[in-house]
A and B are shown apart, each in its own frame.
Chain A
Amino acid sequence: MQNMTSASLQRQQQHQSQDTSHAKTILNDNSLTIAEKLISIKNVETKSVSMPGDIVIVSVDLAMAQDSTGPLAIRSFTEMGINKLYDPSKVLLVIDHTFPAADEKVANLHAMMRDFVSKHNCLLVEGSISHQYILEYLAVPGMMILGADSHTCQAGCLSAFATGIGSTETAAVWATGQLWLKVPDTIKINLSGIFGKGVFARDLILDYIGKVGEDGANYKALEWKFSNENIRKEFTMDSRACISNASMECGAKISVFPNDEVTTKYLEENARTNNDLKSIKIQAGASAKYEDEFEIECNKIEPKVSGPDNIDNVHSVEELSNMEIDQAFIGSSTNGRIEDLEIAARILKGRKVHKNTRCIVTPASVKVYEDAIKRGYVETYLQSGAVFTNATCGACVGTHLGALGENEICLSSSSRNFVGRMGALSSKVYLASPATVTASAIEGKIADPRKYF
Chain B
Amino acid sequence: MTNINIIKGKAWVFGDNINTDIIIPFRFKSRTNDPYELAKYAMYGYDPDFHKKISKNDIIIAGRNFGGGSSREQAPVALKYAGISAIIAESFARIFYRNAFTIGLPAFEIPEIKGKVDQKEELKIDVTTYTVENTRTKETFLARKVPEFMQKMLLEGGLVEYYNKYKKFPWIQR
Contacts and interface: CB of A to CB of B under 8 A. Distances in A.
Interface of A: 45, 55, 57, 67-69, 71-72, 75-76, 79-81, 97-98, 103, 105-106, 109, 112, 147-150, 152, 164-169, 172, 175-176, 178-180, 214-215, 218-219, 251, 253, 310, 397-399, 403, 416, 418-421, 425
B115 interface: no
A72 B73 contact: yes
A168 B95 contact: no
Given A169-B98, A251-B94, 4 more contacts: A149-B70, A166-B71, A166-B95, A168-B73
B21 A420 contact: yes
Interface stretch (B3-11, B25-33, B50-58, B137-145): B25-33
A57 B174 CA distance: 11
Contacts of B30: 67-68, 97-98, 106, 109, 397, 399
A396 B149 CA distance: 36
A335 to B, nearest CB: 17
Contacts of B70: 149-150
A172 B159 contact: yes
B111 interface: no
B171 A180 contact: yes
A68 B26 contact: yes
A169 B25 contact: no
Contacts of B29: 68
A105 to B, nearest CB: 4
A92 to B, nearest CB: 15
A399 B26 CA distance: 7
Q: Give the size range of B's interface with the partner.
A: 35 or more
Contact of A168 (B27, B44, B147, B158): B158
A420 B27 CA distance: 10
A222 to B, nearest CB: 13
B98 A76 contact: no
Given A69-B72, A418-B69, A168 B159 contact: yes
Contact of A166 (B27, B45, B69, B73): B73
25 contacts: A69-B72, A69-B73, A72-B74, A72-B77, A76-B160, A103-B31, A105-B31, A109-B31, A149-B70, A149-B71, A166-B72, A166-B99, A166-B103, A168-B102, A169-B98, A169-B159, A172-B169, A218-B93, A251-B94, A399-B26, A416-B21, A419-B45, A420-B44, A420-B45, A421-B25
